[in-house]
Amino acid sequence: MITSFFLQEEGSRVIHRVSLPCVMGREEGVDLRFADPTVSHRHALISEENDHIWIDDLGSLNGIYVNDVRIEDKAPLKPGDTIRLGRLTFSVCRSYEEVAGDTIAFPSLHTMGDRRLDRQRLKWIYEITVELSEKQDPALLGERFFSRLKDIYQQDQGYLGVFKEDGSLESVFSDASLDSVPVSRSIVDRLLQNGESFILEDALGGEALNKDAAALEMKIRSALCVPLLYHNQIHGLIYLSRSVPGAYSHEDLEFLRTVSCVLAPMVENARLWAEIKGLYASTVDSLKETQSRLIEVERAAAYARLAQAMAHEIRNPLMVIGGMVRRMRRPAPDEPEGAGMQAVMSSVERIETVLREVDGFVKLPPPTKQLRKIDSLILEEIRQHDRDWKEKDIRPQLVVGTSHLMIPIDDTLFRKALSLIFRESLSNVPRGSELSISIRDRGGELEIEIGRRADRTVYCEAFDPALQHKPWVLDLFLNMGHKIIADQDGKLLLDRHSSSVFPMVIRLPRIVKP
């Protein structure tokens, strides 16, 4: 039969002799009384049953922990176990000699306990720092921070806010039960002005919150509040609360202040990062909108140039037709018979050719890109114009200066553009000449140069104002070819110093743009 045993308080090392049965609590008249507010009025019953010691929870608010495990109803005790009631922790010993022997054998247990606590808190700070340093979103940062604090402070509510320029608080993270921090404006003002922290041990017994309806409604009894200090500036505050009186100590407050020093630069950096991301997204949207407008402007300019080129192409044959018709009404004495009709028919055929080309161009489908070997496409199109080359005695020569010839392209449309450009060459390359065509690398692009480059060659976009007075700038086939190449994200560049459309350069990207 067990009549008594001993409990030794951790920290103070006070030894309590326990006679069974024993009621532990905070009210007067219990067998073992403690003034600590975290201990309920009648917290626990220790009794003997079948030669074993048992501890029963008498409906306490903070529960009973045996060896750091909260008991549901009752649990057995044996020498060496630890019991925790609120903030008080005890070691179970069968005899006084056992307690004294332990104390004499290990005189530095109390000091070692403090050191273990320091190491544990340093470990918490390290883990919080490592985990939070990878978070860049302020809300996610706050959520993970309070999740870590839950392991340490067991808070019922948590709030992380930053001060705006007008001194008001903007929530970064808060529990669902907190729309704002439930403390008086005077406390917030003192924290903002002086960087003061506060600890509330019992809201019902103190002056700090006892007039705050929100705090009373949420049954807040204990609270901690510390500022977020960074670069000698108060950026915000951290607030924790529980519905249990006396849940937090001054050591808890100091530790939270230390953690806030780690968190403050992270919150500020996360806020700045979010602001930069917002500005970046806004800038990207603005650039996309500007790019879209420029594309529309360029497309409108391209079609305007095509309309001008069509008018130019049709105007000349119509002038010939009009002149020939007038002359046919009054034929010149020395004019060969049928010459006027032949000129009229030639102009009519020219107009029909132009209209057919324009009609085909308007009906072209959008480009469908696939990897194709560019030199093969050029050679195939050169062969398609063999008869035209022979009639004018023009000798096209293809020179390949790169092994990277596979690029994403719509081969049908590209060959159409080449065909239109080759037609232009028939009227711009002297009879009996050689037409040089070279392929080479240019960074992320493939460059095709048609015509031989001169020493003064300066390439520019086909719509460059420097080309507006060139006689060939309104050539219909050239403009149609340029439009097809531009639709495949390519560029057609012309020599601003040349008196001819050649040399010209076609640049095509190696990567499909999203």
Residue 215: CATH number of its domain: 3.30.450.40
Instruction: Look over the chain and give the mean of its residue pLDDT values, rounded to a whole number.
Output: 77
Ranking 319-328, 333-342, 488-497 by mean pLDDT, the lowest is 333-342
Same domain, 169 and 81: no
The pLDDT of residue 504 is above 80: yes
CATH number at residue 509: 3.30.565.10
In-domain check, residue 104 = no
Give every CB contact of residue 227 below 8 A, 6+ residues apart in sequence.
Answer: 191, 192, 195, 196, 197, 234, 236, 237, 260
Between strands 169-174 and 370-373, the pairing is unpaired
* Count of structural domains, the chain: 3
In-domain check, residue 472 = yes
Please tell me the predicted confidence (pLDDT) of residue 104: 26
* Of the residues 61, 94, 127, the one at which a domain ends: 94
Please tell me the predicted confidence (pLDDT) of residue 485: 92
**289 or 201, which is more confident?**
289
The tens digit of pLDDT for each residue in 242-270 reads 877 778 888 888 888 888 887 777 777 77
Instruction: Kindly state the average pLDDT of the residues 122-129.
Output: 69
Instruction: Kindly state the average pLDDT of the residues 142-160.
Output: 78
Same domain, 65 and 152: no
* pLDDT-based confidence at residue 301 (cuts at 50, 70, 90): low
* pLDDT-based confidence at residue 96 (cuts at 50, 70, 90): very low
Same domain, 82 and 136: no
DSSP 490: -
Same domain, 498 and 444: yes
**77 or 124, which is more confident?**
77
* pLDDT-based confidence at residue 185 (cuts at 50, 70, 90): low
For 82, phi then psi, to 5°, come to -115, 145
The pLDDT of residue 100 is above 50: no
In-domain check, residue 108 = no
The pLDDT of residue 505 is above 70: yes
Angle between helices 138-153 and 250-329 (to 10 degrees): 160
The pLDDT of residue 317 is above 60: yes
* % of residues, the chain, pLDDT over 90: 20
* pLDDT-based confidence at residue 66 (cuts at 50, 70, 90): very high
Please tell me the predicted confidence (pLDDT) of residue 296: 66
The tens digit of pLDDT for each residue in 382-438 reads 999 999 999 999 999 999 999 889 999 999 999 999 998 888 777 788 888 999 999
Amino acid at position 432, single letter: G
Same domain, 69 and 125: no
SS3 of the chain: helix, strand, coil, percent, to 5: 45, 25, 35
Q: How far apart are CA 377 and CA 407, in angstroms?
A: 11
Instruction: Kindly state the average pLDDT of the residues 54-79.
Output: 91
The pLDDT of residue 46 is above 60: yes
**Residue 242: exposure state from Cβ atoms within 10 A (0-12, 13-18, ≥19):** buried
Please tell me the predicted confidence (pLDDT) of residue 380: 95
Instruction: Kindly state the average pLDDT of the residues 218-231.
Output: 77
In-domain check, residue 105 = no
**83 or 106, which is more confident?**
83
Q: How far apart are CA 12 and CA 28, in angstroms?
A: 22
Ranking 94-108, 155-169, 295-309, 382-396 by mean pLDDT, the lowest is 94-108
Same domain, 267 and 380: no
In-domain check, residue 30 = yes
Same domain, 62 and 147: no
In-domain check, residue 326 = no
Instruction: Kindly state the average pLDDT of the residues 88-112.
Output: 49
Please tell me the predicted confidence (pLDDT) of residue 265: 78
* Of the residues 271, 304, 320, the one at which a domain ends: 271
Q: How far apart are CA 76 and CA 90, in angstroms?
A: 15
Task: Check: CB of residue 77 under 8 Å from CB of residue 46.
Answer: yes
Same domain, 87 and 128: no
* Of the residues 30, 60, 94, the one at which a domain ends: 94
In-domain check, residue 196 = yes
Same domain, 168 and 57: no
Angle between helices 411-428 and 476-487 (to 10 degrees): 150
Please tell me the predicted confidence (pLDDT) of residue 134: 59
Q: Which residues in 300-375 belong to E strands, given as ranges?
A: 370-373
Q: Tokens at residue 149, please?
A: 């604090």
Same domain, 140 and 184: yes
Please tell me the predicted confidence (pLDDT) of residue 242: 82
The pLDDT of residue 206 is above 50: no
Same domain, 72 and 137: no
Ranking 204-213, 326-335, 339-348, 465-474 by mean pLDDT, the lowest is 204-213
The tens digit of pLDDT for each residue in 457-501 reads 889 887 788 887 887 777 777 888 888 898 888 999 999 888 888
Task: Check: CB of residue 409 under 8 Å from CB of residue 372.
Answer: yes
Closest alpha carbon to 173 in 153, 148, 152: 148
Same domain, 85 and 132: no
**79 or 357, which is more confident?**
79
Domain range enclosing 461? 365-513
In-domain check, residue 188 = yes
Please tell me the predicted confidence (pLDDT) of residue 348: 72
The pLDDT of residue 5 is above 90: no
Between strands 222-230 and 370-373, the pairing is unpaired
* pLDDT-based confidence at residue 107 (cuts at 50, 70, 90): very low
CATH number at residue 85: 2.60.200.20
